[in-house]
Structure 1
Amino acid sequence: MDLNETYLVNVKKQFVYYKTVAEKAIAQLEENQLFVALNDDTNSISVIIKHLNGNMLSRWTDFLTADGEKEWRDRDAEFIDTYTSKAEVMEKWDAGWKCLLNGLDSLAPEQLSTIVYLRNEGHTVIEAINRQLAHYPYHIGQIVFYAKLLKKGNWDSSVHP
């Protein structure tokens, strides 16, 4: 396996790892806890997932051929809590991850130096992937931290390595 193939395999493993970390945290919560915001300056887990969904769909739809900031994306609306159930939250979570993972799976190793655009700024495919690999775990860390706060001492730390 050449270096580019190794990179694609590794980066997919990293994304799946962080997806699993968040899912294990979410699984420990009661449905209503997904919608709790501690104050006006924080987002609920539901809102964080809504933002991740919007970002993933925008960035990974037509990844190689269209700017990653799609015209149809309404980023500001991602921070308004409109989801009403855990099922809806998880449906949006899964849709975003499906788009991301399909996008990764569609890449060939020789495309890693191709230029793609995010907000009209050129990035190599590797740079664009790395940008998202920094962004998504940042928010997943928020989800885990929030879940720990909401569990108030009843956190099962065995689910996280």
Structure 2
Amino acid sequence: MNLGNEYLNIVIQRFKSVKSLGEKTIKQLSERDIYWVYNAESNSAAIIVKHLSGNMVSRWTDFMNSDGEKLDRNRDGEFEDTISSKAELLEVWEHGWQKLFAALNDLTESDLLKTVYIRGEGHLVIDAIERQLVHYASHVGQLVYIGKQVKDSEWETLSIPKGKSQEFLEQMLDQQKKKD
């Protein structure tokens, strides 16, 4: 087993899982819902997606050769409400993820212990990947929370429903027995 390649496969699957969670949330939101904010200090789903995509484009474009904080990135502008529709939100979302997956798919085991820079600070590639995975997961968690707030009783759970943990565990164990 090649440990570096196994790590890359696992981390790509983790990013795909985070992306899927966000997409399942966005799917439940209406055109109006994507702009909902709890208060003036909160970000809407549209703003969160815009920020995520801006970060992804900056970090993952020319990942191995240039600083992850690109000079043309307008981070402050990512927090301005300029997304005009849910369709545009989905385009912005997909654009960022495409950059991330293209960069990850180009990496090799020998790249993992090389140094890349973010805002002039050196990071091992493996650390830069982990840093972004945590960042994106936290923002997707915010999207899920917004979805739950906006949809209330209409929210379709994305994980194990409340009160169903034991039932879910039994189903998982039964599936595993069938595989063995």
TM over 0.5: yes
The residue identity in structure 2 corresponding to 1:69 is: E
Aligned-residue sequence identity (percent) comes to 46
Which position in structure 1 is the counterpart of 2:94? 94
Which position in structure 1 is the counterpart of 2:67? 67
Matches within 5 A, 1:71-90: 71-90=71-90
Q: Which stretches of structure 1, 4 residues or more, deviate above 2 A after TM superposition?
A: none
Which position in structure 2 is the counterpart of 1:132? 132
Between the aligned partners of 2:142 and 2:129, the Cα distance in structure 1 is 20
The residue identity in structure 2 corresponding to 1:95 is: H
- Structure with larger Rg: 2
Which position in structure 1 is the counterpart of 2:46? 46
- Give TM-score, length-normalised by structure 1: 0.97
Structure 1 unaligned segments of length 5 or more: list them: none
Structure 2 unaligned segments of length 5 or more: list them: 161-180
Residues 88-117 of structure 1 deviation map (CA, whole Å, 9 limit, x = unaligned): 000000000000000000101111001000
Instruction: Give the alignment's Cα RMSD to 1 decimal.
Output: 0.8
**Contact 1:21–1:160 (8 Å) recurs in 2:** no
- Give TM-score, length-normalised by structure 2: 0.87
Between the aligned partners of 1:31 and 1:122, the Cα distance in structure 2 is 41
**How much does 1:62 deviate?**
0.2
Which position in structure 2 is the counterpart of 1:18? 18
**Contact 1:50–1:92 (8 Å) recurs in 2:** yes
